[in-house]
Amino acid sequence: MRLEGDFQWFQSKRKGGRWSIRFQLRCTRWWREEAFRYAIFDGTGQLEPYRSFLELPANNAVNIDYDTCSWDWCQGDTFAVLNEKDEIVEHWTLSLHTYAPGECPECHGTKQCQKCQGTGQIKSQNHMISTCPDCLGTGTCVCCYVPIRKIIGNTTGTTLTNDNTLASANHPAMDMSRQRKIDALHKQIFDLQAKIQQCEWDERMMQMRNLDVSAHSVYMAKLQLKMKYHQQLINLQHELQQLEGM
Ligand SMILES: [Zn+2]
Ligand SMILES: [Zn+2]
């Protein structure tokens, strides 16, 4: 595959011109197109993977974002190129730099846009009020903002179990060992999600306290651990997808 991908900020039309993330994929071949199937995996494992097919002409790029396919990119989400056997051959994961509390060079931890002081609006000399050109009206610091998908309680676990029951009911001939594997995967995924929630809770707690420098490395270690869990979760989700699709 001759593909190059990267994540960029852009102004989403569907979000009324707000900043949003897009994934841009380019075919670097100059004589032939690349045709392949792909999937987008939610870093938190809550959403169903988005699956589709792409035919990318030589030397051409395509944007995959909220405006083009309704996928709202969040930290930890992965774009994966699949082969005929549904295996991942290449992937890109959104991993934006995360600042520790107080570390952001722009807002120093307030998370407020410096140009408009978090109001989203600026007043010009002739007292005209207009939308802040930096944050585009959100009032959020654009330097340290990272889109994170919210984890909704334990409902994910329940939904997964329900889906699982439905799947078994629809396929009575499904062999038991495979069913056991699927059950085990659901359990592992559920446990991982709980671990991620715990990490996020710890993070929030650390953010609430004023961290000194010695605690900083602990915070970064926590973030790294969470990213590791996210990656494991993506792999498990993929494995489950393959098993259930058999
Ligand atoms: Zn900031
Ligand atoms: Zn602003």
Tell me the per-residue pLDDT of 188-237, one tens digit each, with 9 for 90 and over.
Answer: 888 888 888 888 887 777 777 766 555 677 777 878 888 888 888 888 88
Give the separation between CA 91 and CA 148, rounded to whole angstroms.
Answer: 19
Does any domain span residue 159? Answer: no
User: Quick check: pTM over 0.85?
Assistant: no
Domain boundary at 93, 124, 154, which? 93
Give the separation between CA 177 and CA 245, rounded to whole angstroms.
Answer: 15
Domain boundary at 67, 93, 119, which? 93
What is the 8-class DSSP label of residue 130?
E
Range of the domain at 57: 3-93
Does any domain span residue 143? Answer: no
Number of domains present in the structure of the chain: 2
Does any domain span residue 162? Answer: no
Q: Looking at this protein, which amino acid is placed at residue 226? A: K
Share of the chain above pLDDT 70, in %: 87
Centre of ligand 1 to C-alpha 22, Å, is 21
- What CATH number does the domain containing 79 carry? 2.60.40
Nearest ligand to the CA of 102 is 1
N-to-C CA span, the chain: 26
Does any domain span residue 53? Answer: yes
Helix, strand and coil content of the chain, in percent to the nearest 5, comes to: 35, 25, 40
Instruction: Please give all residues whose CB falls under 5 A of ion ligand 1, grouped by chain where several chains appear.
Output: 104, 106-107, 141, 143-144
Tell me the per-residue pLDDT of 60-81, one tens digit each, with 9 for 90 and over.
Answer: 999 999 999 999 999 999 999 9
Domain boundary at 93, 125, 156, which? 93
Does any domain span residue 102? Answer: no
Does any domain span residue 238? Answer: yes
Does any domain span residue 221? Answer: yes
Does any domain span residue 168? Answer: no
Centre of ligand 2 to C-alpha 19, Å, is 12
